[in-house]
Amino acid sequence: MLNILLVDDESVVSEVLQEILVMLGHHVETAPDGQEGLFMFDSRTYDLVITDILMPGIDGHGVARHIRSSERSYTPVIGISGTPWLLEGGSFDSVISKPFTVKALTNAIDDATGSPSTSGMLQNHPVLSMG
């Protein structure tokens, strides 16, 4: 089980992602924007951060830069976006383009953390896509 910080300003996307991650066996805390995400990251310890790219104020690149310059710069960061060209050149360990499947999400988590994200309980689940 990973302790995951999920940063996304779209509440529907955040709720669905949180539900999927919890079903995969992870503990998830959510932040509604980059500023709150940085506050939460600085005040708690997470095994993984998943952040949207396009957000008002501090965007996903800003979240990743902050993490990379922190004392816990080793924390894996996954960037997600419906505009995949914005994922290029970032400080991300893995990236996911919306829409995506549960398998794409688990693959990104595996790539970023270097360990299996699930025991396979949702690997055969029908495709869930996010727009």
| pLDDT given for residue 124 in this prediction | 45
Sign of the torsion formed by the C-alpha atoms of 16, 64, 49 and 79: positive
What's the Cα-to-Cα distance from 57 to each of 10, 50, 64, rounded to whole Å? 14, 17, 14
Kindly tell me if the per-residue pLDDT of 128 is higher than 70.
no
Q: Which amino acid is at 43?
A: S
- Residue 32 inside a domain? The answer is yes
pLDDT in tens, 29-77: 999 999 999 999 999 999 999 999 999 999 999 999 999 999 999 999 9
Residue 41 lies in a domain: yes
93-96 long-range Cβ contacts below 8 angstroms, 24+ apart = none
Provide the 3-class DSSP secondary structure of residue 3. Answer: strand
Domain count for the chain, please give it: 1
The pLDDT tens digits of the residues spanning 12-33 come to 999 999 999 999 999 999 999 9
Q: Tell me the C-alpha distance between 56 and 115, whole Å.
A: 32
15 occurs within a structural domain = yes
121, part of any domain: no
Asked if pLDDT for residue 129 goes beyond 50, the answer is: no
Residue of 129 and 39 predicted with greater confidence: 39
- Residue 50 pLDDT: 97
* Spatial separation of the C-alpha atoms in residues 60 and 66, rounded to whole Å: 10
Task: Give the pLDDT confidence score for residue 130 in this predicted structure.
Answer: 45
Q: Are 123 and 107 in contact (CB under 8 A)?
A: no
- Summarize pLDDT for 83-98 with one digit per residue, the tens: 766 667 678 888 888 8
Task: For residue 122, tell me if it sits in a domain.
Answer: no
Question: Can you give the pTM of this predicted structure?
Answer: 0.87
State the Cα–Cα distance between residues 6 and 29, nearest whole angstrom.
6
The predicted pLDDT at position 125 comes to 47
Q: Which domain holds residue 52?
A: 3-113
Concatenate the DSSP letters of all residues of 62-79 into one string.
HHHHHHHTSTTTTS-EEE
List the CATH number of the domain containing 90: 3.40.50.2300
